[in-house]
Amino acid sequence: MDSKIAVTTSQHFEGSRITGYLGIVRGIVVRSPDIGRSLLGGLKGVVGGNINTYYEEVCEEAREQAFRRMLKHASAHGADGVIAMHYDATEYKSGVTEVLCYGTAVKLQSLGG
């Protein structure tokens, strides 16, 4: 399904021509660290150490989910690619973050045989 969709942060694909613009596609995830990660992160903050690891995992999982959802949305539009892909994150409320992955779905034609 979405594994065939090419994605770039650029406005074009090297070796391909954009033949159609299908609209904006996005994937949205609203996440917060689970209770275990919150407690471990809090303990690390109290006793010292790198708390980033716990929260980085939560953030990376949210980005990956948002990316996959964007690909699913692009696939539903019949896209071959997504250009100008970006991530955005907003704290929805204390401890709850929205992660958005978005771009423009396109149809592509290969320039090489």
In-domain check, residue 55: no
pLDDT at 43 over 70: no
Domain count for the chain:
1
- Assign residue 20 the CATH number of its domain: 3.30.110.70
In-domain check, residue 13: yes
d(CA 29, CA 12): 27
How are beta strands 16-31 and 96-110 bridged, if at all?
antiparallel
Mean pLDDT of 37-60: 62
The pTM (predicted TM-score) of the whole model is: 0.80
Domain of residue 71, residue span: 2-32+64-110
**How many whole angstroms from its chain centre is CA 44?**
28
Q: Read off the pLDDT band of 86 (50, 70, 90).
A: very high
What distances in angstroms separate CA 11 from CA 25, 70, 84, 104, one per listed residue?
15, 17, 6, 9
Average pLDDT of the chain, as a whole number: 84
In-domain check, residue 89: yes
pLDDT at 98 over 50: yes
Mean pLDDT of 86-112: 90
In-domain check, residue 72: yes
d(CA 8, CA 14): 10
Mean pLDDT of 77-96: 92
d(CA 5, CA 71): 7
